[in-house]
Amino acid sequence: MLLPELRQQVLHANQEIARRGLALHTFGNVSGIDRAGLDGSGPLVLIKPSGVPYATMTPGDLVLTTLDGAIVEGTLNPSSDLDTHLLLYREFPQIGGVVHTHSEFATSWAQACRPIPCFGTTHADYFHGEVPITEPLTAAEVEEAYVLNTGTVIARLFQNRKLDPLAVPGVLVAGHAPFAWGKTPASAVEHADLLEFIARLAYRTVLLDGPAAGLAHYVGEHHYQRKHGPKATYGQKITAL
């Protein structure tokens, strides 16, 4: 099998979204990309096969495709969300893994067509600003290429608002559900998990009639920068021995 190390990463990431309760039944998928490909032939993407249970999935079940969707290796049908993943990899060259789930609270915000405001420092530690919501797909976009255009509306949102996909590592697709990403499949899963937790906290904050304006911008900015900024102080500094 090609790309055995990436296969293990993507398999584990798919099993993790089930283990963490982010994907009931087979309601979710994870992919990973090798940007160099084989002998510099171009990027290759590994993705979950459509409808296969996480518990019984094996490395050989994963489907390997080019960035244009041509199957390189695999006998099963790839995830029905493949074209969304591929478009995100093309538009966001910084990322190395993509996760799509229908996790309960994040999907609730998506179905309500509402972004998730930054209500507190937990949110600010991981997302630089609100978790945005896309515009709904038009009837023409759905008819033309629904899955591909799901990626298109995400990419258009980030382009129009000049958002950094590494600073805002997830999005809500209006009427649908969340997508998240990261530099690796594992970090993409972490962001999907954090997005669900943030969505749950925000839902309860709204129920408790929290301030509509959310957290003061200067507090949120301080928290984000202390963890991700050029002078970040969070965590341990690794020094050479």
Distance CA 118, CA 124 (A): 6
Of 68, 146, 164, 234, the active-site residue reads: 234
Q: CA–CA separation, 229 vs 145, rounded Å?
A: 38
Cα dihedral 50/94/188/221 (nearest 10): -140
Whether residue 125 lies in the annotated active site: yes
Told to judge if 146 belongs to the known catalytic residues of this protein, a careful annotator would answer no
Distance between first and last Cα of the chain: 38
Residue 45's Cβ-side half-sphere holds a number of Cα atoms within 13 Å equal to 31
Contacts of 151 (CB under 8 A, 6+ apart): 83, 84, 85, 86, 87, 88, 91
Cα separation, 78 vs 62, in Å, equals 8
| Residue of 34, 125, 203, 218 marked catalytic | 125
Q: Are 3 and 96 in contact (CB under 8 A)?
A: no
DSSP string, 101-169: E--HHHHHHHHTT--B---SHHHHTT-SS-B-BPPPPPHHHHHHHHHHHHHHHHHHHHHHTT--TTTS-
User: CA quadruple 178, 184, 186, 187: dihedral positive or negative?
Assistant: negative
Show which residues are catalytic: 125, 234
